[in-house]
Structures are given as structure tokens and as C-alpha cells.
């Protein structure tokens, strides 16, 4: 059965990727902007955290793309199908007319 509402887990996953990526990029920017000659190790930290932030944002975009493509697929499948209808049960007379029972 096709669900009517989007999955909340997928939405939370996408938002978590974007939030974590933003936090990592902000931490990288803070570390990069406050580096002095004595604290040169912060360059390494800033590069690693910045790379992590970029990868998280890209992963969030990948999940977002998959989410929307899945939604489009479901909408296309819904358009292809007809409206569900109830079918009556076959009575003995119907079965006899069709030659299924004697």
C-alpha cells in the first residue's frame, strides 16, 4: 500500500545530516579564523572538521534527492492505477453459469 504521508524517519535523517554538516562547517570556520602560529594544529582540525561538514551536507543532499525521486515514483504509480472498487462474491448461480460447478 502506498503511504499518504512522507516517512518521518527519512525527513529526520535529512535534517540531521544538514544540521550536523552546518555545525561542523561552523566549527571549522571558528577554528580556522582563530589560528595563531603557536596553535598551528587547529589548521589540521579545521580541515578535517570542514571536510566532515561538507560530506555531511552532500550526504543530506543525496538523501533529499532519493526522497523526492521516490515521491515522484509513488505519484506516478498512483496515477497509473484506477480507483479501487469492491467486487461481489460469486454465488452458486454464477458458478453454474460459468461451468465451474454442476
In a domain, 97, yes or no: no
Q: Is the pTM of this model over 0.75?
A: no
In a domain, 15, yes or no: yes
Mean pLDDT of 27-56: 93
Average per-residue pLDDT for the chain: 89
Q: What's the domain range around 62?
A: 8-81
Rounded Cα gap, residues 38 and 16, in angstroms: 35
Q: Check if the beta carbon of residue 49 is closer than 8 Å to that of residue 27.
A: yes
Tell me how many domains the chain contains. 1
In a domain, 61, yes or no: yes
In a domain, 55, yes or no: yes
Q: Does the structure show a pLDDT above 80 at 72?
A: yes
DSSP 88: P
In a domain, 45, yes or no: yes
Q: Check if the beta carbon of residue 53 is closer than 8 Å to that of residue 75.
A: no
In a domain, 102, yes or no: no
Distances from the Cα of 3 to the Cα of 6, 8, 14, 72, 84, angstroms? 7, 12, 19, 13, 15
pLDDT in tens, 7-17: 888 899 999 99
pLDDT band at 90 (very low <50, low <70, confident <90, very high): confident
Amino acid at each position: 500500500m502506498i503511504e499518504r504521508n512522507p516517512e518521518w524517519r527519512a525527513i529526520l535523517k535529512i535534517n540531521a545530516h544538514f544540521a550536523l554538516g552546518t555545525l561542523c562547517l561552523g566549527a571549522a570556520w571558528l577554528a580556522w579564523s582563530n589560528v595563531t602560529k603557536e596553535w598551528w594544529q587547529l589548521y589540521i582540525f579545521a580541515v578535517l572538521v570542514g571536510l566532515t561538514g561538507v560530506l555531511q551536507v552532500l550526504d543530506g543532499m543525496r538523501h533529499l534527492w532519493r526522497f523526492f525521486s521516490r515521491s515522484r515514483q509513488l505519484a506516478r504509480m498512483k496515477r497509473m492505477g484506477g480507483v479501487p472498487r469492491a467486487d461481489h462474491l460469486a454465488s452458486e448461480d454464477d458458478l453454474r453459469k460459468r461451468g465451474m460447478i454442476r
